[in-house]
């Protein structure tokens, strides 16, 4: 018989409007005192049926919709979709388009990581970094705005190449950003990495091993923080990533602090890639030939890319018409979120906030 | 020795003081980035995709639109309605043009599809209105543009 003092399980509802769940994630926490004994994610609040919408649109028309899945890294989403359709059609984008794609997606990776860093720090209680990261992100968004006229839902690429010509002054703006940004990363580093409160909150929290990652399909910075140097850009290069030199940062412990360090280092590597790419923008066309009507042959194609959050894949089935028969998205956030239970078991309630933050999930992508 | 230095660093709160120093430096007026909207409106990029406009010929004041319906076909949201009549020579003449801004996602595909650059997304970004009906723009609104509200302090 259990007495009132021993009856131990308390169920606590976190979200869906909790500010630290980054959107509309609802987590049901089972608690024993302050300790979490189990979690359950309830998702679907942001479901818009993007995959179904694809079946009623032509290939070109669907391109703006993918921006709305992971709205923080819309450019990467667009790249993944365009590359998958290009694979289905057997075309490759011209050289100039490929280099511009690399620059824009790496800028987008920086923007995504900056937003993550700011909000993650905010969750932990450090309010200041948010203002600084937003300020730098603004510079990236300005480049996007000058290039394609939108800041968030960019629709930057079209199937077969770029949607817009690069504008005059693009290279200078990107170079200026590359010159300015590493100093800012050092600033965040000095502000946070050595800070004892930051370390105490993150170190040893939310441990995840490589085996668990493999079982759950966790990819991206979370997998690398656990110690496996797996990066789709290196393992299955696309858009000419094999021509760039960059390192794959990895962690050793697989805790929340490692995920933070990996992402900080990834921003530095992104700057490195952008610097190499901007030095070699070739002249030439920006769209491949024969892209007026997009009508892939009957068949199917899957193509993964390394989005800021992990492996983002598009699986497209074509029945030979101008409409896709089926589009399936493999969203990194959705699969990474599944690791929450493994990480949060045994943690304290306050640590759950840090763990959710370190997953860097965007609910628009989880629910689609 | 090393542990002593580590201990001193901790005891003297050096890690926290460094963070304080960084935030303190940002007080300098040259580090202020806040925009005083709506007193000063930001200059948006030339390619900004904002409010739509139906261009008219600057001299003859006639619409450039040839009522070809391509923008309607290109739009994923299917929100453009182009009305036209055939004149004596069987040519299409534009009569009405309806654009439902409330459903538009400013993707720019319609602008891209227009063969004569009649439809254009402009740098206007203040699109709020008090009614839902106000979001449905007719031909006159599209040609003349929205009338911006004056703000006074
Ligand atoms: S911007 Fe896009 S959604 Fe809006 S009318 Fe044009 S094509 Fe349609
Ligand atoms: S595509 Fe251009 S010319 Fe054709 S109906 Fe639309 S606005 Fe008019």
Query: Could you give all domains of chain A from N- to C-terminal order, each with its CATH number?
Result: 4-207+266-367 (1.10.645.10)
Between CA A354 and CA A333 the distance in angstroms is: 16
- CB contact B48 to A (< 8 Å): yes
Query: Residue ranges of the domains in chain B?
Result: 2-30, 52-144
CB atoms within 10 A of CB A152: 14
Is A349 in contact with A72 (CB distance < 8 Å)?
A: no
State whether B49 and A135 contact (CB < 8 Å): no
Tell me if B18 and A65 make a contact (CB, 8 A cut-off). no
Q: What is the mean pLDDT of residues A131-137?
A: 88
Collapsed DSSP state (helix, strand, coil) of residue A128: helix
CB of A249 within 8 A of CB of A265? yes
- Centroid of ligand 2 to alpha carbon of A310 (angstroms): 41
The DSSP code for A73 is: G
The number of the ligand nearest the C-alpha atom of B116 reads 2
Helix (H, G, I), strand (E, B) or coil at A15: coil
> Measured between CA atoms, how close is B49 to chain A, in angstroms?
5
pLDDT of residue A168: 85
Name the residue with tokens 């050092």.
A186
* Res A110: pLDDT: 92
On whether the CB atoms of residues B136 and B101 are closer than 8 A, the answer is: yes
Between CA A230 and CA A69 the distance in angstroms is 24
- For B21, the enclosing helix (H) or strand (E) is helix B14-25
Nearest by Cα to B142 from B51, B59, B69: B51
How far apart, in whole angstroms, are the C-alpha atoms of residue B101 and residue B61? 24
**What pLDDT digit, counting tens, does each position of B64-96 carry?**
888 888 888 888 888 888 888 888 877 788 888
Ligand 1, atom 6: closest residue by C-alpha: B110
**Does this model's pTM top 0.90?**
no
Tokens linked to B84: 């036209």
- Separation of alpha carbons A89 and A322, rounded Å: 12
| A259-A263-A266 Cα angle (round to 5) | 140
- Asked if pLDDT for residue B98 goes beyond 80, the answer is yes
Q: What is the pLDDT averaged over residues A66-80?
A: 88
Adjacent-strand bridge partners of B133 = none
**Nearest chain A alpha carbon to B34:** A135
Best of A55, A56, A57, A149 to substitute, by most chain B Cβ atoms within 10 angstroms, is: A149
pLDDT of A52 higher than 70: yes
Counting ligands in written order, which one lies closest to the CA of residue A60? 1
Among the residues of chain A, which ranges form H helices?
A: 50-55, 59-66, 74-89, 95-124, 128-148, 170-192, 196-202, 210-216, 221-226, 232-235, 256-278, 332-337, 340-344, 349-359, 363-367
Model pLDDT, residue A315: 92
Q: Which of A323-332, B13-22, B42-51 has the lowest mean pLDDT?
A: B13-22
Tell which residue, A67, A102, A109, A111, has the closest CA to residue A309. A109
Q: Dig out the tokens for A50 from the structure.
A: 């993007």
Give the span between the Cα atoms of A125 and A235, in whole angstroms. 37
Dihedral angle over CA of A114, A116, A122, A124, nearest 10: -120
Tokens encoding A152: 């968030």
Q: How high does pLDDT run on average in chain A?
A: 86
- Asked if B33 and A196 come within 8 Å (Cβ–Cβ), the reply is no
pLDDT at B7 over 80: no
Residues of B whose CB is below 8 A from A145: 44-45, 47-48
A190 and B76: CB-CB below 8 Å?
no
Average pLDDT estimate for A16-24: 74
pLDDT, position B148: 60
- Look up the CATH number of domain B52-144: 3.30.70.3270
Which residue's CA is minimally distant from atom 2 of ligand 2?
B114
For residue range B117-141, what is the model confidence (pLDDT) as tens digits? 888 888 888 888 787 877 888 888 8
Write down the residue that tokens 């817009």 correspond to: A164
**Do A280 and A99 contact (CB within 8 A), yes or no?**
yes
Query: What's CA B49's distance to the chain center, in Å?
Result: 4
| Strand (E) or helix (H) holding A324 | strand A324-330
The predicted-structure confidence for A257-295, as pLDDT tens digits, reads as follows: 888 999 999 999 999 999 888 888 888 888 888 777 788
Six token digits for residue B66: 């040839």
């Amino acid at each position: 018989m259990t007495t009132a003092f021993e009856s131990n399980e308390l169920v606590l509802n976190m979200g869906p409007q909790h500010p630290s769940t980054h959107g509309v994630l609802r987590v049901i926490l089972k608690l024993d005192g302050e300790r979490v004994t189990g979690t359950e994610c309830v998702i679907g609040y942001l479901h818009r049926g993007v995959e179904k919408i694809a079946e009623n649109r032509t290939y070109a028309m669907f391109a703006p919709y993918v921006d709305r899945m992971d709205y923080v890294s819309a450019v990467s989403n667009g790249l993944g979709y365009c590359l998958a359709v290009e694979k289905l059609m057997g075309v490759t984008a011209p050289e100039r388009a490929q280099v511009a794609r690399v620059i824009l997606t790496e800028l987008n990776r920086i923007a995504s990581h900056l937003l993550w860093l700011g909000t993650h720090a905010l969750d932990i209680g450090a309010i200041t970094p948010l203002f600084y990261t937003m300020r730098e992100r603004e510079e990236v968004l300005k480049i996007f705005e000058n290039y394609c006229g939108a800041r968030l839902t960019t629709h930057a690429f079209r199937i077969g190449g770029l949607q817009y010509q690069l504008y005059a002054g693009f290279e200078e703006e990107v170079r200026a950003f590359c010159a300015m940004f590493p100093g800012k990363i050092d600033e965040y580093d000095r502000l946070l990495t050595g800070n004892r409160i930051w370390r105490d909150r993150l170190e040893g929290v939310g441990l995840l091993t490589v085996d668990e990652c493999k079982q759950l399909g966790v990819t991206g910075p979370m997998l690398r923080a656990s110690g496996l140097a797996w990066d789709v850009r290196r393992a299955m290069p696309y858009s000419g990533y094999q021509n760039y030199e960059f390192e794959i940062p990895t962690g050793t412990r697989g805790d929340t602090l490692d995920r933070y360090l990996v992402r900080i280092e990834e921003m530095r590597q992104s700057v490195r890639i952008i610097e190499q790419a901007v030095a070699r923008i070739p002249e030439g066309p920006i769209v491949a030939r024969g892209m007026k009507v997009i009508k892939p042959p009957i068949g199917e194609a899957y193509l993964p890319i390394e989005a800021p959050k992990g492996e983002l894949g598009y699986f497209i089935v074509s029945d030979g018409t101008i409409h896709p028969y089926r589009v399936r998205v493999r969203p990194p956030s959705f699969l990474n979120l599944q690791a929450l239970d493994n990480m949060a078991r045994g943690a304290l309630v306050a640590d759950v906030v840090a763990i959710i933050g370190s997953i860097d999930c965007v609910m628009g992508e989880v629910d689609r | 020795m090393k542990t002593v230095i580590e201990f001193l660093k901790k005891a003297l709160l050096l890690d926290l003081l460094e963070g304080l120093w960084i935030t303190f430096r940002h007080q300098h007026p040259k580090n202020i980035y806040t925009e005083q909207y709506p007193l000063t409106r930001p200059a948006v990029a030339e390619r900004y995709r904002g409010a739509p406009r139906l261009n008219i010929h600057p001299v003859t004041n006639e619409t450039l639109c040839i009522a070809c319906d391509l923008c309607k076909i290109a739009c994923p949201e299917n929100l453009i309605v182009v009305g036209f009549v055939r004149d004596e020579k069987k040519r299409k003449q534009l009569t009405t043009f309806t654009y439902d801004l409330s459903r538009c996602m400013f993707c720019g595909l319609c602008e891209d599809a227009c063969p004569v650059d009649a439809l254009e997304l402009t740098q206007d970004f203040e699109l709020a209105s008090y009614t839902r009906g106000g979001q449905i723009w007719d031909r006159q609104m599209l040609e003349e543009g929205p009338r911006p509200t004056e703000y006074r302090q």
